[in-house]
A and B are shown apart, each in its own frame.
Chain A
């Protein structure tokens, strides 16, 4: 158990270093990148609680993030702006205006509630069928967001969210989420779930109610995704449903998988690594576009490089950078090896 505390400590230190470091440098762009990174961290660690422990790939995560972002938007956009931002909103909702913190919680709760209802039947499925249905779920959520104009302003951009997310808030939420993920991993549910990941038949034979365990993890993941979505919404302040679709799904899955889906450490490491790589590639792309010696715009280069990196990591290290052990565990083991037990 000791190494879990060490892991939590190290991961929170990483978050602190990112936060404080970006402030010390004093460049606005870095502040933005750091905040973005921390929000991604919330999402990726949230995905890890389900994917890492159950071993099932889930595509629907970003859909729940969208749900959270829109919930928080509807609850927090100032009443006088609602007429413009959401002209078709139902009358009784027009006067609602709550504090962003409350709205964030509501976003998480709503996402979790929706997940609880829709996911219950899906958790019986394994392997390809579960992947496909989670993909279907993403499409359903996207379709609903794209068309339920009353709440989401349809495919158009929704604007007017108060900008309440800044770096410290993102860092605090990210820290809490990391701790929750580690606690969940070591909880009874998490342990049984990980047993089912390794061997479904054996775990079931030992009495693990696998669909129920997966269901709990999925609800937790959706809750975190909802919170992450609200956090992101109040950071970016205007967005459209297409922000919650395949491109973002690809990005967070890349982060989780390159880092190592089975460990929280992997989720954190992957997020940091990919964010840095992504921003680097983006600016290269921007520079290429600015010089404009080629024909037309350079787009998609970033994604191509990330996709190649992902394939390479999968071939060389299928478990990601941290396939099994958390950082704390690795360190305690290394120390134990150095000085043999007394």
Chain B
């Protein structure tokens, strides 16, 4: 029983974080059909903001807010630097500019801060543990679960009930049509980037809360996770991203428990091979998105 609870909490907390990461990537992808390679660096930005703010003596919650705001700012900056100037030209061009922008941010962190890991301030509660039904669990896992439930609900509400959300979904379904009906294209795209940055910021705090330190390459793993989760779930569908995130967490956790120590080192290789198999079976991903419209 204790094992079952442990397993469930592990899957849910990891899955919650993964789902948020994937969601942040898909929100941009859904509208632009373009992958944002600099997405992981938004998480890095959130981490370094926390590190830089740690000397200021502000309460932790303010620092966290600041980190999220910076992630949003950099999300919008990604749009202005890497996407807007080349958006209309070619898909490859945008993939490359966002890849270059990601490299730019990483190396800026290397140059101006440090290649070595930096400690991030964390409140006491992140390192405590509680016992639920015989299973010892870090409180941060429960926080992650709670945060992901709240955020997923909030995003669902935003996308379904507000004008902005409906406009964004319209743009994701058929961008040209949405523009003809008066949806301002640039505003919608920037909002998508802002929302993506917001999710990255929150995930960044939760994710770095697990590790405790931030390095320039910290965004790589979340980026890969988001990639894989979206590919599994369906590149175009928001619920797909969430499903993909939880499924990937289930796979990862199961492999963690079942693989022997020797094979565990190859876990990433197993996970990614599984992704290839899923794509073989369903190239669209598990959940199909809205009917495809023309890319802008």
Q: Are A301 and B235 in contact (CB under 8 A)?
A: no
A253, B37: Cα distance in complex, Å: 14
15 of the cross-chain contacts (CB-CB < 8 Å) are A55-B92, A121-B279, A125-B283, A128-B29, A136-B228, A139-B272, A146-B265, A250-B99, A299-B110, A299-B115, A300-B108, A304-B104, A306-B103, A307-B104, A310-B100
Does B296 reach chain A (CB closer than 8 Å)? no
Q: How far is the CB of A259 from the nearest CB of chain B, in Å?
A: 13
A144, B270: Cα distance in complex, Å: 10
Chain A residues 17-39 with CB under 8 Å of chain B are none
Q: Are A128 and B224 in contact (CB under 8 A)?
A: no
**B interface SS class:** helix
Q: Are A131 and B95 in contact (CB under 8 A)?
A: yes
Residues of B within 8 A of A296 (CB): 114
Given contacts A133-B279, A257-B96, A304-B104, contact A128 B35 (CB under 8 A): yes
- Chain A residues with a Cβ under 8 A of chain B: 55, 57, 118, 121-122, 124-125, 127-129, 131-133, 135-137, 139-140, 143-144, 146-147, 246, 250, 253-254, 257, 261, 296, 298-301, 303-304, 306-308, 310-311, 314-315, 318-319
Q: Are B111 and A304 in contact (CB under 8 A)?
A: yes
A140, B270: Cα distance in complex, Å: 8
Residues of A within 8 A of B231 (CB): 129, 132-133, 136
Given contacts A128-B235, A133-B276, A299-B115, contact A315 B33 (CB under 8 A): no
Q: Are A253 and B107 in contact (CB under 8 A)?
A: no
- Chain B residues with a Cβ under 8 A of chain A: 29, 33-35, 81-82, 85-86, 89-93, 95-97, 99-101, 103-104, 106-111, 114-115, 220, 224, 227-228, 230-231, 235, 265-266, 268-269, 272-273, 275-276, 279-280, 283
Q: How far is the CB of B280 from the nearest CB of chain A, in Å?
A: 4
Name which residue of chain A comes closest to B227, CB basis.
A132
Residues of A within 8 A of B115 (CB): 299
Residues of A within 8 A of B104 (CB): 303-304, 307-308, 311
Q: Are A118 and B97 in contact (CB under 8 A)?
A: no
A135, B135: Cα distance in complex, Å: 37
A124, B276: Cα distance in complex, Å: 11
Given contacts A125-B279, A128-B29, A132-B35, contact A310 B96 (CB under 8 A): yes
Residues of B within 8 A of A136 (CB): 224, 227-228, 231, 272, 275-276
Q: Are A318 and B279 in contact (CB under 8 A)?
A: no
Instruction: Give which listed residue, A144, A298, A314, contacts B93 with CB less than 8 A.
Output: A314
